[in-house]
Structure 1
Amino acid sequence: MKRYIFLIVMLLLTVIFCFSFIGKDTSKASDINSEQSLIYGVDDISTDLRSVTNLSKRQEDIICALSKGLVSKNAQNKIVPSLASDIKEDSEGIQYEFKIRDDVFWSDGSKITPNDIVEFFKELLKEEDEENIKALLDVYGAKDFKAGKTTFEKGVAISATNDAVIIRLNTKNNNFLSELTKPQYRVRKYLIMWGNMKNNYKKLIYSGDFSIDSINDDSMVLKKNQNSSDDIISNINILKDENVELSMACYEVNQRDIVIDPPETELSKLDEEGKLITEPKIDATYLYISNKENLPVQARREIYNDVCKAVASYKNTNNKTFELAEGSYFREDKENLTKVQARKVSSNKIGTWKKPDILTILGEDNDKNRSMCRIIQDWFKNNTNITIKYSLVKESEFKDDELRNRYDMVLINNDADILNKATFYSSFQSYLTGDQVKLLKKAGDDKKNDSYGELEESLFNDYDILPLVFYNENIAISSKVSQLNLDGNGNIDFTTIK
């Protein structure tokens, strides 16, 4: 009998012991679901944040939450100070002095110093892939250091004073400050350790408004740092979902507060309920029309006009996905109503040409191009006697000039960053005529961001490369969220969440 009583007592003690752990777990879950916490669904969580090479825009968001740069781009795409309080550029446009704010701290409470920032740039030159730090490689001596030909301290023109960081370039680069706003330039300590965040997140200190509180393959919890503003959210629980449909299913039962790019079929409903935020992205699509014998200028003009009609017709019923370019190569240029109207008139000029039975389109295989090709194909089927056939290929095939030349049209995805026209127009180089290449070089030699007008006019008037749409980021939000902004690089600014 005593034996049975003993067993019952032990069983009860075991149950009580287990319930004590359940109580703790419930408390933590309750904390995450409190009014001061948000649940954000993403398609992947990367534990390697050392380099941005393989990161998606949403994975870059994490770097932006955890760290700050010398400068940043706000939602209006303007460059504003961040860790720096003031920026001085010399008369030649070669040397920059960034005065570091007195009120910026690491997550452990220690002050962020100019020496910390210089050390970060040294690590960034070592660890980041060259393609991601072209602006930094413009610094005097940076390429030699990257190649192992000199030491950082003796050879690279990045230095610290008591209150500032001084950077000297080889030659003037009008895009230098714009480049410094990108996620890879956010200041991080012990950068090599960011290659394995799962093992190292507790050992690191962070320059941003948030720190990693926990991380595994399926979730990451960000916690507000002690020196961050009281106005920002306390916790962000980032959960990995297999796809956006799963994120939306969880959203419907109040298990997600933020879902990026919900399905198009959900946008109208979310908008009507006041649960949709639509933010402009720098992503855009342009149409290259081949200069073949059977496609003279009048043909290219009418093809472009019809493609624009197709896109406009789709937008009438799906008005949140993108914004019509209306002849503008940059979203900001749409404010120039005189130019917009002149280009509309130009593209509507009527002429004669022998219309083919079939027109072909080539594009890189991605969701945007897949949707765009279907939009164009359906409209031409219903409104013309021309059949549209399209092929979507991998990036390596898309870069094949011989393949591209077989098609009448090519969809080109580009970043419409008006602050960086040199990179924007240079990405079109393989499509340009000989005269247009000369115009590109002339504008590049001038080293001014506003020197590309002549090239742009040639592209439009000859109907070679033409603007189609500027994409939006659509974000489903719960009742906990009333405001959320993207910065000028398209990354979520978690400090704007209200």
Structure 2
Amino acid sequence: MKKIMLISLLTISVVAFLIGFIEISKEEEVENKSTITYSISSFYNNLKEVGSLDIRIQDIICATSKGLVELDSSNNIIPALAEGVEIRDDGLEYDFKLKSDIYWSDGTAITPKDVMAFFREIITEEAEDNIEAVLNVYGAKKFREGYGDFSQDVGISIGEDNIVFRLNSKDDKFIEELTKPQYRVRKNVLLWENIKNSYDDLIYSGNYIIADISEDKLILKRNEKADKSLSESITIILNEEEEIAMASFEVGDRDLVINPPKSQLERLNNENKLITTDSNNGLYIIFNNNSDSLTIEDKKIIYSKLNNAMEKYQLENTKFMELAEGSYFRQDKDDLLKMQSRKVMLNSSNEELKVKSLVIVAEALTENKEICEYISNYFSENTEIDVSYKLLTEEEMNSIKNSNYYNIALIKGDITGMGNTEDYNKIVNLIPDEYGEKLIIAKNEGERREIFKSIEEELYNNYKILPLAFYNNNIAVNSKIKNIIFDGHGNIDYYKIGKS
């Protein structure tokens, strides 16, 4: 039996999970009366299926709801509603002890019964792809399909101050999975299906409550039980275009602009108004598996030249992205031996490229158009290869797997599977079936990562899918606003926002 106190999780560890008790001397709280205003480009009234939401809308869930555990900006697992966890039976059972001072926004205590009721709701109401980790709980999948009694047939039980999960099979990433926004504890999940009608009837577990929603704005107010040093209120302007948001920022009407226009990043950075952090989103190329017009050696040379083009592009856009340098996962860039060996392999060819033209397809996004245009111009200036590109709708991109009119698909997405499920599937669906099927059937992010690691060298050496770059998260921030950071999932950290 292992009793492990929760402070951080080393992701390479099998069952290591620590929550610590830190004695902090209490000082007299000074109430923060500040307000923060920022905008998001789209908003949906249905917030029930959290894992399927845009990350900026997930921010609202993170502001108003807490998880048992959460992921900080350094990807460490930290305590939230839980203060500790005991892992038993070789990783099949997880016993979370809840804190004694956790409350809903109406002042009532958050109990183990409340937490269990939440997990019962999301097992049936959240999209299946978003809760694979919890569907690995004994009896959960059957209950979702309409079989059994939850209290007797599902492996979730409670005690006086704890909640216990019993898994069907070992999942070393189970605790990390529970840090995702879809596992933030909410009451009456069904009411989140029409948030404009129900927000005033809800009680919240997070630092903020939804105080008002109109056609053009959503207002968050600090929970009475939250840290008084947090900003008192946050106004989110809904469905605002980034150019308008940026113009409002310049005249002082917006305190933040999340991921401002790329053309403004260097200027904002020079004015000390930009915060840049890593994201898991990457840019990948997938060679068309239906066409035999390119040999392995051709692909190797093309990939080398694409890297050269992206290196030049990145030097002109340092705040926008970072070169992948052969790494599929951003954190793997620390593996200097692997990176060096791939560079040597990439630059070892002396053969001439025999193809005279290439066709690239990409989703019709402004940034994709710019990158495709840059690549086309680079090849035109530095090679004898004519590169053309075709921008497709999202639906068209999802149906190109069996087409052979293109040579390369340019895909933006999170190959860790921790981000948007649709983006992850866009990548996996274009990988040849013998590899893609393994990734699709993986139960959770941990399994996906392990499977990918097992086939990574084969994918790289055979030029099936290859990394080009990693995108950055950027926030334009007014100098009066303090502590604007992202957590490990790319969501705004509402434990820090506005604190001096």
TM class by shorter chain equals 0.7 to 0.9
Q: Distance in 2 between matches of 1:418 and 1:90?
A: 27
Q: Distance in 1 between matches of 2:336 and 2:245?
A: 40
1:375 alignment partner AA:
Y
Greater CA deviation, 464-473 or 287-296?
A: 287-296
Alpha carbons 1:174, 1:449 under 8 Å: kept = no
Greater CA deviation, 240-249 or 126-135?
A: 126-135
Cα 1:54–1:273 change in 2 (3 A) is: same
Alpha carbons 2:294, 2:355 under 8 Å: kept = no
Q: Distance in 2 between matches of 1:402 and 1:465?
A: 13
Deviation for aligned residue 1:430: 4.9
Deviation for aligned residue 1:240: 2.2
Deviation for aligned residue 1:233: 1.4
Structure 1 residue aligned with 2:323 = 324
Q: Distance in 1 between matches of 2:286 and 2:358?
A: 13
Alpha carbons 2:219, 2:233 under 8 Å: kept = yes
Alpha carbons 2:309, 2:375 under 8 Å: kept = yes
2:160 alignment partner AA:
N
Map 1:83-232 onto structure 2 (within 5 A): 83-232=81-230
Structure 1 residue aligned with 2:11 = none
Cα 1:451–1:184 change in 2 (3 A) is: closer
Structure 2 residue aligned with 1:15 = none
Greater CA deviation, 56-65 or 280-289?
A: 280-289
Greater CA deviation, 122-131 or 153-162?
A: 122-131
Any unmatched runs of 5+ in structure 2?
A: 1-31
Greater CA deviation, 297-306 or 233-242?
A: 233-242
Q: Distance in 1 between matches of 2:207 and 2:298?
A: 54
Cα 1:183–1:437 change in 2 (3 A) is: closer
Map 1:452-463 onto structure 2 (within 5 A): 452-463=452-463
Map 1:53-452 onto structure 2 (within 5 A): 55-290=53-288, 292-400=291-399, 403-417=402-416, 428=428, 430-432=430-432, 434=434, 450=450, 452=452
Q: What are the superposed Cα offsets for residues 111-167 of structure 1, whole Å, 9 maximum, x if unpaired? A: 111111000111112322222222221111112211212221122111111111101
Deviation for aligned residue 1:298: 1.8
TM-score (norm 2): 0.86
Structure 2 residue aligned with 1:493 = 493
1:329 alignment partner AA:
Y
Greater CA deviation, 391-400 or 141-150?
A: 391-400
SS in 2 for 1:428: helix
Q: What are the superposed Cα offsets for residues 438-461 of structure 1, whole Å, 9 maximum, x if unpaired? A: 997999999695565442111222
Cα 1:151–1:230 change in 2 (3 A) is: same
Alpha carbons 2:217, 2:235 under 8 Å: kept = yes
Greater CA deviation, 269-278 or 117-126?
A: 117-126
Alpha carbons 1:68, 1:207 under 8 Å: kept = yes
Cα 1:133–1:367 change in 2 (3 A) is: farther
Deviation for aligned residue 1:333: 0.9
Deviation for aligned residue 1:426: 11
Structure 2 residue aligned with 1:464 = 464
Equivalent pairs counted in the alignment come to 463
Structure 2 residue aligned with 1:3 = none
Cα 1:226–1:242 change in 2 (3 A) is: closer
Alpha carbons 2:398, 2:426 under 8 Å: kept = no
Cα 1:235–1:439 change in 2 (3 A) is: closer
Alpha carbons 1:175, 1:419 under 8 Å: kept = no
Q: Distance in 1 between matches of 2:398 and 2:286?
A: 14
SS in 2 for 1:267: helix
Q: Distance in 2 between matches of 1:416 and 1:442?
A: 15
1:459 alignment partner AA:
L
SS in 1 for 2:50: coil
Q: What are the superposed Cα offsets for residues 313-344 of structure 1, whole Å, 9 maximum, x if unpaired? A: 11111111111100111111111112111111
Q: Give the structure with the higher percent helix.
A: 1
Alpha carbons 2:418, 2:489 under 8 Å: kept = no
Deviation for aligned residue 1:83: 1.0
Deviation for aligned residue 1:382: 2.1
Alpha carbons 1:426, 1:440 under 8 Å: kept = no
TM-score (norm 1): 0.86
SS in 2 for 1:201: helix
Deviation for aligned residue 1:290: 3.7
Q: Distance in 1 between matches of 2:161 and 2:276?
A: 40
Structure 1 residue aligned with 2:484 = 484
Greater CA deviation, 442-451 or 199-208?
A: 442-451
Structural RMSD (CA): 2.8
Q: Distance in 1 between matches of 2:50 and 2:375?
A: 34
Alpha carbons 1:49, 1:195 under 8 Å: kept = yes
Q: Distance in 1 between matches of 2:227 and 2:484?
A: 16
Greater CA deviation, 111-120 or 100-109?
A: 100-109
Deviation for aligned residue 1:181: 1.5
Greater CA deviation, 157-166 or 144-153?
A: 144-153
Deviation for aligned residue 1:387: 1.5
SS in 1 for 2:97: strand
Cα 1:448–1:210 change in 2 (3 A) is: closer
Cα 1:439–1:455 change in 2 (3 A) is: farther
Cα 1:367–1:101 change in 2 (3 A) is: farther
SS in 2 for 1:493: coil
Greater CA deviation, 265-274 or 192-201?
A: 192-201
Greater CA deviation, 272-281 or 292-301?
A: 292-301
Q: Distance in 1 between matches of 2:40 and 2:84?
A: 36
Greater CA deviation, 232-241 or 57-66?
A: 232-241
Alpha carbons 2:438, 2:451 under 8 Å: kept = no
Larger Rg: 1
SS in 1 for 2:191: helix
Q: Distance in 2 between matches of 1:226 and 1:111?
A: 13
Cα 1:318–1:35 change in 2 (3 A) is: farther
Identity %: 39
Alpha carbons 2:52, 2:130 under 8 Å: kept = no
